[in-house]
C-alpha cells in the first residue's frame, strides 16, 4: 500500500469520493468529519499527508493547521487545504499557517491526486541524507532537524524547506518567485508576501544565525557564502 493520507471534511459524499479515488491510486486513506476527530487521529498515528477542509463544523481548518504546526510530532506533516473559498486572502492565510498546497472546490479527483503526488514528491526530495553547515547553523535533512549555536530549533515544514533551499545554494540570490515555486510548487497561486512572512519568522527562530540569510532588496534572498 502507498502513502497514508488523512482526509478531513464535513461532507460525507465528498469524503467518500476522495477516499475512493485516492484508494484507486494506491494510497491508504482514513477520514475525519471534524477538526477534533482529525487531531485525535493524527496524534494516534501520523500519516504521510493530510487533506484538510477549511470550513469544519467544530473548529476551523486554519486552527487545525495551526495546531499541527505547533505539535512537535506533527509539524513536518504535509497539508493540502481543501475549501470552497477561492478568495486570495484565504489562500494566503492557509499557506502562511504552513499548508503545502491549496485546492479549491469544485475540483476533479484527478487534479487532487496530482497535487497529492506533487507534495509527497517534494517532501521526499527534501528528506535526503544531506547535512548543511555554516558557522553556528546546521541543518540535517535526513532527520529533519535544525541546530543554531548548538541548540535545536523547531521549524515548520515550510521553514525547513526554505532554509534548505537557501543553504543548498550559498552565495546565490534566489528570487521570491523561485522560492515559491520550489517550496510551494508553481501551481500554488499566492503573493510574494508569503515568502517574506515565512523568512521573517525563520530568522527570528534562528536568533543571531538568522543574519546568515540576507535580503537582497528588490530581488530576493541569499544565504551567506
Non-local (6+) Cβ contacts of 32 within 8 A are 6, 7, 8, 38, 41
Q: Where are the domains of the chain?
A: 4-125, 127-223
Domains 4-125 and 127-223 share a fold: no
Q: Which three cell numbers stand for residue 131?
A: 547535512
Alpha carbon distance 173, 159 (integer Å)? 18
**CATH number at 127-223:** 1.10.10.10
pLDDT digits (tens, 9 = 90+) for 91-115: 677 777 778 888 888 888 999 999 9
Q: Which three cell numbers stand for residue 153?
A: 530549533
**CATH number at 4-125:** 3.40.50.2300
**pLDDT exceeds cutoff 80 at 224:** yes
pLDDT digits (tens, 9 = 90+) for 175-192: 888 888 778 765 555 667
Amino acid at each position: 500500500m502507498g502513502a497514508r493520507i488523512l482526509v478531513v471534511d464535513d461532507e460525507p459524499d465528498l469524503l467518500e469520493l476522495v477516499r475512493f479515488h485516492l484508494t484507486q491510486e494506491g494510497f491508504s486513506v482514513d477520514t475525519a468529519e471534524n477538526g477534533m476527530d482529525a487531531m485525535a487521529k493524527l496524534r494516534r498515528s501520523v500519516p504521510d499527508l493530510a487533506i484538510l477542509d477549511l470550513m469544519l463544523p467544530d473548529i476551523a481548518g486554519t486552527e487545525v493547521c495551526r495546531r499541527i504546526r505547533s505539535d512537535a510530532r506533527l509539524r513536518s506533516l504535509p497539508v493540502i487545504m481543501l475549501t470552497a473559498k477561492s478568495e486570495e486572502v484565504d489562500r494566503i492565510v492557509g499557506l502562511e499557517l504552513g499548508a503545502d498546497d491549496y485546492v479549491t472546490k469544485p475540483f476533479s479527483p484527478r487534479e487532487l491526486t496530482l497535487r497529492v503526488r506533487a507534495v509527497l514528491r517534494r517532501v521526499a526530495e527534501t528528506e535526503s541524507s544531506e547535512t548543511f553547515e555554516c558557522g553556528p547553523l546546521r541543518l540535517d535533512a535526513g532527520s529533519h532537524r535544525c541546530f543554531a549555536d548548538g541548540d535545536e530549533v523547531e521549524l515548520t515544514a515550510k521553514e525547513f524547506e526554505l532554509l534548505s533551499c537557501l543553504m543548498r545554494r550559498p552565495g546565490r540570490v534566489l528570487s521570491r518567485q523561485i522560492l515559491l515555486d520550489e517550496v510551494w510548487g508553481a501551481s500554488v497561486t499566492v503573493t510574494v508576501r508569503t515568502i517574506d512572512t515565512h523568512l521573517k519568522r525563520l530568522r527570528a527562530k534562528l536568533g543571531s544565525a538568522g543574519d546568515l540569510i540576507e535580503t537582497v532588496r528588490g530581488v530576493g534572498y541569499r544565504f551567506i557564502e
